[in-house]
Amino acid sequence: MKQEAAWSMLKWCGYSDEDINSRVKQVWYEIFEGPNAVYHENEDGLGYIVDTGNDDVRTEGMSYAMMLAVQYDRKDIFDKIWGWVMRFMYMNEGHHRHYFAWSVAPNGIPNAQGPAPDGEEFFATSLFLASRRWGDGDGIYQYSAMAREILRYCVHKGESERGSDFAGEPMWNPDNKLIKFIPETEWSDPSYHVPHFYDLFAEEADPADRAFWKEAAEASRKYLLAACNTDTGMSPEYANYDGTPHISDRGHWYFFSDAYRTAANIGLDSLWVGKDIGLGNRVSALQRFFLTHDRTSVYEVDGTPVEETVLHPVGFIAATAQGSLAAIHSDAGDAVDNARKWVDLLWNTPMRIGARRYYDNFLYAFAMLALSGNYRQRW
């Protein structure tokens, strides 16, 4: 089914179709083709993404690249990346078998023996969207079947009645339906919560699990309301199941790199599913706070400054601007005006160069796709 581009906030803010299309094309070039590209191919023609700040290949970046490839209609790149993932990241044995090693060296040697659940949820979503756009192929390129398999293990690992193949821990808590930071922990990462993806899973996953995913979508929206501070809109990187910051020797209880994505996810949820005034209010509060506070400083979620400097200033601007898609549905009187300011701020911010460009430029890419109406579920 052909679908025209969704509503474009960039066009609504006064930017021309020509300029928008040019910027969207530039995003692909910078990440995949230009002199600052983070995409590479090995001697077998398989593709991988290097986290330039850490010199490794992560399920985060690989799944992000697959999402961009399907949105840009680049099946060739999508298949090369997915082929690399299945060859070097998929775990066939051990405690975490059927999950993906979250960090692997560019030569394919694993750095980690465990997964990060945001990779699995982006892999599954990208595969379902690939099936919708291009249809299913054979083997690992039978996209929808592979996505269903990923989700089957994410939900059912640890269920002894399913046999030893399902040994381990699930990625979602079976009782509260919230995604975990990693399978072994009983806390979450608010930026992992993508309820609009779970609504998609409720349509495409194994029929027996579709009710679970519908519940997970609603649970995540409620969780995001709890995790995002009412006054500042900020969420912590790690949070307990009640939304409060998870304080431990791991750190990460303040608003830092991972947490920037929370506003972006709320924005895409608004674009794909529909407005939620409560979540719009949270993003509006975030935008208001950072229009009047130092954007290079790190803060606790209540707005208390931390003696640390942000690592990803471009990614922060991009993700907060993407949140404008939700902020315009806030009932705050200054919300629409502030949302426009953030869109303009992003438009006038160039993509990042240098060692930390990987994360920033992926968030930039997602924001440009969403704000231009080109981040789609169907074609």
Catalytic sites, residue numbers: 60, 258
Question: How many whole angstroms separate alpha carbon 61 and alpha carbon 24?
Answer: 19
* 8 A C-beta contact, residue 192 and residue 181: yes
Question: How many whole angstroms separate alpha carbon 3 and alpha carbon 258?
Answer: 32
Q: Would you call 347 helix, strand, or coil by DSSP?
A: helix
What single DSSP character describes residue 35? Answer: T
Q: Name 104's bridge partners.
A: 57, 110
* 8 A C-beta contact, residue 230 and residue 284: no
Q: Name 57's bridge partners.
A: 104
Question: If we measure between CA atoms, which residue out of 241, 246, 235, 233 comes closest to residue 278?
Answer: 233
Question: If we measure between CA atoms, which residue out of 58, 64, 62 comes closest to residue 103?
Answer: 58
Q: Which long-range contacts (CB under 8 A, 24 or more apart) does 44-50 make?
A: 45/80, 46/80, 46/81, 46/83, 46/84, 46/87, 47/77, 47/80, 47/81, 47/83, 47/84, 48/81, 48/84, 48/88, 48/106, 49/81, 49/358, 50/106, 50/358
Length of the chain: 379
Question: How many whole angstroms separate alpha carbon 289 and alpha carbon 230?
Answer: 11
Residues 6 or more apart from 43 whose CB is under 8 A from it?
Answer: none
Other Cβ atoms closer than 10 A to 170: 18
Question: How many whole angstroms separate alpha carbon 115 and alpha carbon 183?
Answer: 8
- E strand intervals along 31-93: 39-41, 47-49, 57-58
In degrees to the nearest 10, what's the CA dihedral of 207, 223, 114, 151? 10
Question: If we measure between CA atoms, which residue out of 45, 114, 46 comes closest to residue 85?
Answer: 46
